[in-house]
Amino acid sequence: MIMPEIQKQRIIEYIKEKKRFDGRKPDEHRKIEVKLGISNKADGSCSVKFGDTEVYAGIKMDAMEPYPDSPDEGTMVTSAELSPIASPDFESGPPRIDAIELARIIDRGIRESGFIDFKKLCIKEGEKVWQVNLDVYAVNDNGNLIDAASLAALIALANAKMPEYDEENEKVKFGEMTDNPIPLNKDAMAFNITFHKIGNEIIVDPNKEEEEISEWRLSVAVADNKGEPRISAMQKGKESAVSEEEMEKILNLVEDKYKKMIPKIKKMVWGK
Amino acid sequence: MTEKSKYIKRADGRKFDEIREIEAKVGIIPNADGSAMFKTGGTIAIAAVFGPRTLHPQHMQNPEKGILRVNYGMMPFSVSERIRPGPNRRSQEISKVTEWALTPIIDLEGYPNTVVDVFIQIPQADAGTRVAGINAAVMALAQAGVPMKEMASAVSIGKLDKTLVVDLNKEEEDFDEGEGSTDIPICILSKSKKISLLQLDGKISIKELKEVIELAKKATEKIHEIQVKTLKEVGK
């Protein structure tokens, strides 16, 4: 996206007065909307909207050979597609670095928090384990795909059902579902908040224009550890560096946003 | 119409010439110049249109008129067994035949050196994804304000053993008794009634094929009505 310098300056001037073009405060998210079951062929699926940024997430389970270093643990593969359907800035073709980074941030947030109980995804030690295939598709990009996609991933996982497994032929019976959910550690659920620096201010949930002009971004995956926030993954992006002062400010913001958002996020993920 | 086809019972209770329930929506992707969702039974297609915009690479540009470019793809979780994301031979062929199906309806004479990009994605598949994609794409093109000579609607006609049925679902597509299942996706233009997509795989007689085209005409008229009605609702 190419943005006129004057518009960039305007956004920065506004932010100085803690104002944004769409009327939000710097630390305010857009309206989050969730729709479950966007694909009945997926084992779990949903759409998540942050304002008019929209992401689809879908889960497909499969059975594979385990990795040699963890013979009794299931595996997960996360893919993200920045499909050209979502923005004139995206092009067809193999995933570029943006999509690869997006998938890896989502993957780490889930994996490192211990949200999925990989030990319970073992079918036969050393021979067969379940593989969680998590696919995330951008449908409309108006900024902050990272947070929308990672929330969509949590919701799709929490609402997924395991398919039947044919033990005799050691194959998954695709399309035949059990009532069993994917084994998850509910308490370990971590959701992502990405902070951006614009001018001298730190904002959350940027739209496309804000995202474009921010100096750096810092994504923080935060889980609920008995009422206290616990960080399970982080990623700093873009070329500028974060000062010590800014880091402290972010950590305070994490605590604040976490307290405000965790009940809402839990409701979106678990439906209650 | 063969006598037998009138009495066929379909697993989902439809009459032989009955299309699945349709849901359509226009303007689902704000970033696009035009966009639409078309759902028929268990198949969902979403389409987005960008352009006319300058075509890159430059050597592909046509100085006489703009061109249409279609990109069709299935989401990995859209079918029972996950498919790898990204293009494959099937999706590339469908992209091309969809491009050919849509090219006759648009008029890009006034837009030299440009491209109209149509992106079609399938989040949920239960047969007939290419025709659902075309139906969504036509609505998206109309919403984008791309100059159009007429509209187009597509449907898949099937032959189960010796019986003709309209708008196959996956179960019917996999039918393997007698002569098996023949799948015939057809796209018919709204005014000229020309056929802009026709594929067939299976076995069929000439007499039956004539019936197929009649059935497709009737079914696409119904689909056309829904497309027009949905477009008229935009902005209301």
- Give whole-number Cα distances, B43 to A99, B74, B124, in Å: 27, 11, 5
Q: How far apart are CA A263 and CA B81, in angstroms?
A: 35
User: Does A54 map to a domain?
Assistant: yes
Q: Is A7 a domain residue?
A: no
CA A211, B74, A162, A79: dihedral to nearest 10 degrees? Answer: -40
pLDDT at residue number B1: 44
Q: Which chain A residues are closer than 8 Å to B76 by Cβ?
A: 58, 60, 79, 133, 135
Specify the pLDDT at position B8. Answer: 64
What is the reported pLDDT for A264?
94
Whether A248 contacts A195, CB under 8 Å: no
Tens-digit pLDDT string for chain B (236 aa): 444 544 567 889 999 999 999 999 999 999 999 999 999 999 999 999 999 999 988 889 999 999 999 999 999 999 999 999 889 999 999 999 999 999 999 999 999 999 999 999 999 999 999 999 999 999 999 999 999 999 999 999 999 888 999 999 999 988 888 888 889 999 999 999 999 999 998 888 999 999 999 999 999 999 999 999 999 998 76
CA distance A48 to chain B (A): 13
Mutate to test the interface with B, among A1, A35, A39 (most CBs of B within 10 A): A39
Cβ–Cβ below 8 Å for B119 and A39: no
Quick check: is A182 in a domain?
A: yes
- Amino acid letter at B140? A
Per-domain boundaries in chain B? 4-229
Number of domains in chain A: 1
Q: Assess if residue A132 is contained within a domain.
A: yes
Of B77, B81, B123, which has the smallest distance from its Cβ to A59's Cβ? Answer: B77
- pLDDT, tens digit (0-9, with 9 covering 90-100), for A232-255: 889 999 989 999 999 999 999 999
What is the fold, at CATH topology level, of the domain defined by B4-229?
Ribosomal Protein S5; domain 2 (3.30.230)
Q: Contact at 8 Å (CB) between B194 and B188?
A: yes
For residues A248 and B156, what is the distance between their CA atoms, to the nearest angstrom? Answer: 60
Kindly tell me the sign of the dihedral angle through the C-alpha atoms of B51, B57, B58, B64. Answer: negative
- Interchain CB distance below 8 Å, B78 and A42: yes
What dihedral angle (degrees, nearest 10) is formed by the CA atoms of B23, B24, B28, B32? 150
Q: Could you list the residue range(s) of the whole structural domain that residue A180 is in?
A: 18-270
Please give the pLDDT value at position A91: 87
Contact across the interface for A174 and B80, Cβ inside 8 Å: yes
The ipTM assigned to this model is 0.84
Q: Is the backbone of residue A205 left (phi > 0), alpha (psi -120 to 50) or beta?
A: left
pLDDT given for residue B5 in this prediction: 47
Shortest distance between the Cα of B100 and any Cα of chain A, in A, equals 19
Could you give the angle at which helices B129-144 and B206-232 cross, rounded to 10 degrees? 40
- What span, in angstroms and rounded, lies between the C-alpha atoms of B55 and B117? 10
Distance from CA of A136 to the nearest CA of B (A): 9
What local confidence, expressed as pLDDT, does residue B6 receive?
47
What's the whole-model pTM score?
0.90
Positions in chain A whose pLDDT score sits under 50: none
Whether residue A133 and residue B125 make contact (CB cut-off 8 A), yes or no, is no
- Whether A3 is in a domain gets the answer no
- CATH of residue A55: 3.30.230.70
Which tokens go with A59? 């889960």
Alpha-carbon gap: B214 to the closest alpha carbon of chain A (Å): 32
Which helix (H) or strand (E) segment holds residue B83: the answer is none
